[in-house]
Chain A
Amino acid sequence: MAENTTSNRNSPPPPIEVRDLTMAYGERVIVRDMNFVVPAGEIFIVMGGSGCGKSTLLRHLIGLMAPAKGRVFRDGVDFWALSGAEQDRMKRRSGILFQGGALWSAMTLAENIALPLREFTRYREKEIREICELKLSLVGLAGFGDYYPAAISGGMRKRASLARAMALDPEVLFFDEPSAGLDPVSARRLDELILALRESLGATVVVITHDLASIFAIGGMAIFLDSGSKSIAARGRPRELLDQGSNPALIDFLTRGERHTKLPALRADGSSKI
């Protein structure tokens, strides 16, 4: 038991802890030997360029993909050492906002939120309806319960998905590229909503993103995954990392390549010896 837990008598275990995690698709290693802890009640950002393994890391954290090596602890317990039923129970303690919303298209928004309530609680139908209305109003979609996902905009779908993620009052909320596919205003509103909900609910929030505006707006502790070194190249608060960081890949990422990378095609000075 001791090997499979991080329990400590003095302090409660962190909601998420990753130890020596190596992620791989077959022989192809994505990121190796990752170690980090997500503190309870904090916002934690996983950032990095396209293809660095952010979404793969999310799939490991939410229990959709087993590690090639290493361990993922949830509330101090080694997630992959649990039985299937125990894993399912653990999964229900977190909510996930998928990149595209992932609302069940054959159900209305209210039915989407009601499904986990009907499956995993013993609330009466009236209570479930009230909870659905409450969750929808929390994300600014009061009165939209009867709409199908196809009938609403992308931003609304994301908010409805967030309402579904909050259905069971989770302790941890995961966000996969929350601003992807949204216009800047909708993206900012969603960022503000994430912050407001975290402050109100006190949940731990893990955000996977490459969107700089979101990274700086949401703040919190962050790790930077680098596809070059296949490792966590930096960790800290994004603003501090930008000011103090010496990792060229990170600075490139946080400044959109303006500090380090030379983009020859964009130069207009005519210097053209190659």
Chain B
Amino acid sequence: MAVSADGAVVLSLAGEWQLGRPRPAVSQLAWPEGALRLRLDCQALRQWDSSILLYLRPLWEECQRRGIAIDLDDLPPGLRRLLVLATAVTAPLERDDLAEDGFVGRVGEGSRQVLVAALRVCTFVGELCVAVLKLLVGRARMRLGDLITESAKAGYQALFIVSLIGYLIGLILAFIGAIPLKWFGAQIYTASLIGIGMLRLMAAVMVGVVMAGRTAASFAAELGTMQTNEEIDALRCMGVPPMEFLVLPRFLAMTLMMPLLCVYGDILSLAGGLTVGVLYLGFGTVEFWEQLVLTTRLEDLYVGVFTSWIFGMLLGICGCYQGMNCGRDSAAVGRATTAAVVSSIVCMVIATAPITVLTVLWKI
């Protein structure tokens, strides 16, 4: 580039400028001293696409920085307009999270968010307790029809998947358990293994995981979509508390149906174990049943049912909490659904530990 007497320099843009082909960098330009104005010569310019804009935009910024005016008269009209659009200054959006925090700031902000989330969960659980109390004194705005509908969704509509998983888990556990028991000639204890294992914990966990993926996720998706569509706002505006109208029937349905599904899962898993006992290990049905009754106590069943009742409450809370605290876009519904499943399973595992330890310590 050479500078003329009036301080103008000419930059020629020639040939084909297309994406995917190499293009020069603005930093490679040797700017002559005393340049006041830059004229772009496009006589030899042939085909062009966004590639040339990717060059001209930093060129414009460099000129701004150096205080050089650009003369665009020779640019093709379409390219000129695109460049004007691309270099237009947009007012920055005011955001809360633009501050550049250091490590300490980020840790502090992260901790604050954890505390806020914990507070929100406590508030939600507290409001739910109030709603349950209002229901007990007959003052909750919950429709019986909603409870029946949600119970059907969380109950008999889940029977097929619980049957399938329950039977197969019983079958698999019996097969796996039979291997070491055979070493000691104690195959008959496969019935005890299935009885104690499934009735006491495994069936509750199995049903819990199935219901977390099936029903807790659907609670989060339903309520999240209602949040996105302002349906929950519409309820609030009428003075209908969503906690009583939407959350309570779902929570109760899950709490009531989980123990029943657990008992159903127990029966199917015992059937799975019996299948292995009869067809693989060669026991008679009566023999298997007698061993089961001899070594399995009714308390094992009670512990399993109690555990699944606790799981039902946790799943109801996790699914509904994520839905009610969902953002207002479709991606947020997806996030709420995922979070509902993950938090449900995590909560169940965390709850299992004290239940197992305490029931063993208390010799239940």
Residues in A lying within 8 Å of B, measured CB to CB:
25-28, 62-64, 87-89, 91-92, 94, 96, 98-100, 102-105, 115-116, 119-120, 164, 168, 264-265, 270, 272-274
Contacts and interface: CB of A to CB of B under 8 A. Distances in A.
A205 to B, nearest CB: 16
A241 to B, nearest CB: 24
Nearest to B74: A272
B214 interface: no
B42 interface: no
B18 interface: no
Interface in B62-111: 69-73, 75, 77, 80-81, 84-85, 87-88, 94-96
A269 B239 CA distance: 58
Contacts of A265: 81, 84-85, 88
A35 to B, nearest CB: 24
Nearest to A87: B239
B75 A272 contact: yes
Interface of B: 60, 69-73, 75, 77, 80-81, 84-85, 87-88, 94-96, 141, 225-226, 229-231, 233-241
A145 B236 CA distance: 23
Given A102-B229, A103-B231, A63 B237 contact: yes
Contacts of A88: 239, 241
A91 B235 CA distance: 10
A261 B141 CA distance: 53
Nearest to B230: A102
Given A119-B240, A273-B71, A274-B60, A98 B84 contact: no
A91 B88 contact: no
A96 B80 contact: no
28 contacts: A28-B95, A28-B96, A63-B236, A87-B239, A92-B238, A92-B239, A98-B233, A98-B234, A99-B230, A100-B230, A102-B230, A104-B226, A105-B231, A115-B238, A115-B240, A116-B240, A119-B240, A164-B234, A264-B88, A270-B73, A270-B80, A272-B71, A272-B84, A273-B69, A273-B70, A274-B69, A274-B72, A274-B84
Which residue among B80, B229, B239 has the maximum number of chain A CB atoms within 10 Å of its CB?
A: B239
B253 to A, nearest CB: 15
Q: 7 closest pairs, A vs B, by CB?
A: A88-B239, A102-B230, A272-B72, A102-B234, A98-B230, A265-B85, A91-B239
A119 B141 contact: yes
B67 to A, nearest CB: 13
Contacts of A91: 236-239
Contacts of B80: 270, 272
Given A264-B88, A265-B84, A272-B72, A102 B239 contact: no
A100 B231 CA distance: 9
Given A64-B237, A115-B238, A265-B85, 9 more contacts: A28-B95, A63-B236, A91-B236, A99-B230, A100-B229, A116-B240, A119-B240, A274-B69, A274-B72
Which residue among A104, A168, A270 has the maximum number of chain B CB atoms within 10 Å of its CB?
A: A104
A102 B233 contact: yes
A62 B240 CA distance: 14
Given A27-B96, A64-B237, A89-B239, A102 B84 contact: no
A77 to B, nearest CB: 15
A267 B240 CA distance: 54
Contacts of A26: 96
Contacts of B240: 115-116, 119
Nearest to A86: B239
B275 to A, nearest CB: 41
A17 B225 CA distance: 33
B133 to A, nearest CB: 15
B88 A102 contact: no
Which residue among A63, A102, A119, A274 has the maximum number of chain B CB atoms within 10 Å of its CB?
A: A274
A225 to B, nearest CB: 15
A102 B72 CA distance: 51
